[in-house]
């Protein structure tokens, strides 16, 4: 069973950069047909997609965050990472990593495996 | 940009009853681009249905998705205690994933 696990600081100061890593186990990240993504959920709120990456490094981002986001992949470590710069309190959220399936297979894009999420609080 | 609206915001039902959750898109969408998730408190979302009507692996057959155009539904035929959760619809289009605001299904 594929497993994803987020890791990184739980507290980030305003204006600094939020950095998280997603470690993938029981499966390779370098498999064709799947993208790997980040989704966040502000406390008590709904889900917001941040962006996705393919194992080749190809990315696509939510336009609302695109100017602050960088997602990268390290296939040797079976990990992918998120960097969000110039954070504010509005970026406080639980951040999930997930596998995106369907875009290159069934033609029905969706997220089928998720990490448990990690809470990141932006505060001085 | 497509906007997803879910109704009702909260649905109060009893175990054994039938639940019908609605997801409406602001413009006509391809059914293949619509998915549904279930989220319990403190947990990650769990994929239930993709392509509007295809159950994901492990999704019980009491869950069924349907609809087309702008109107989609998730139906739970006989509610089990573990079904009381928040449900989100999701659309993909033009390299953008969007989630609806969710419907909370709680015990009456």
CB contact under 8 A, A108 and B54: yes
Instruction: Calculate ∠ Cα A9-B47-B9, nearest 5°.
Output: 90
Contacts of A110 in chain B (CB under 8 A): 35, 47, 50, 56, 90, 92
Give B3 or A43, the one with higher predicted confidence.
Answer: B3
A102 inside 8 A of chain B by CB: yes
pLDDT tens digits, B33-75: 999 999 999 999 999 999 999 999 999 999 999 999 999 999 9
Residue in A closest to B58 by C-alpha: A112
Question: Which of A108, A114, A118 to probe the B interface (max B CBs under 10 A)?
Answer: A108
Distances (CA, A) of A115 to A2, A40, A94, B44: 10, 11, 11, 7
Residue in A closest to B47 by C-alpha: A112
State the average pLDDT over residues A57-69.
Answer: 97
A117 inside 8 A of chain B by CB: yes
DSSP class of residue A108?
A: -
Burial of B58 (0-12, 13-18, 19+ CB in 10 A): exposed
A51 inside 8 A of chain B by CB: no
CB contact under 8 A, B44 and A114: yes
A43 inside 8 A of chain B by CB: no
CB contact under 8 A, A110 and B45: no
* pLDDT score of A44: 83
Which of B33, B50, B99 comes nearest A46 by C-beta? Answer: B99
Cβ neighbours of residue A29 under 8 Å, at least 6 residues apart?
A: A36, A55, A73, A75, A78, A79, A80
* pLDDT score of A32: 86
Task: Report chain A's C-alpha Rg in angstroms.
Answer: 14
Distance from the A109 Cα atom to the nearest Cα atom in chain B, whole angstroms = 6
pLDDT tens digits, A78-119: 999 999 999 999 999 999 999 999 887 788 899 999 999 999
């Amino acid at each position: 069973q594929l497993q994803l696990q987020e890791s990184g600081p739980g507290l980030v100061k305003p204006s600094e950069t939020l950095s998280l890593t997603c470690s993938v186990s029981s499966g390779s990240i370098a498999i064709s047909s799947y993208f790997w993504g980040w989704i966040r959920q502000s406390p008590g709120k709904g889900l917001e997609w941040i962006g996705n990456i393919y194992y080749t490094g190809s990315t696509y981002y939510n336009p609302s965050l695109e100017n602050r986001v960088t997602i990268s992949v390290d296939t040797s470590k079976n990990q992918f990472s998120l960097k969000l710069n110039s954070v504010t309190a509005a970026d406080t959220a639980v951040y999930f990593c997930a596998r995106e399936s369907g875009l290159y297979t069934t033609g029905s894009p969706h997220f089928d495996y998720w990490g448990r999420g990690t809470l990141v609080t932006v505060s001085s | 940009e497509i906007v997803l609206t879910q109704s009702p915001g909260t649905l109060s039902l009893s175990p054994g009853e039938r639940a019908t959750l609605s997801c409406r898109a602001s413009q006509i969408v391809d059914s293949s681009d619509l998915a549904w998730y279930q989220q319990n408190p403190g947990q990650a979302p769990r994929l239930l249905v993709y392509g509007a009507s295809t159950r994901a692996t492990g999704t019980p057959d009491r869950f069924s998705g349907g609809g087309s155009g702008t109107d989609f539904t998730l139906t739970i035929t006989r509610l089990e205690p573990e079904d009381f959760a928040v449900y989100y619809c999701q659309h993909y289009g033009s390299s953008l994933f969007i989630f609806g605001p969710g419907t909370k299904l709680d015990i009456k």
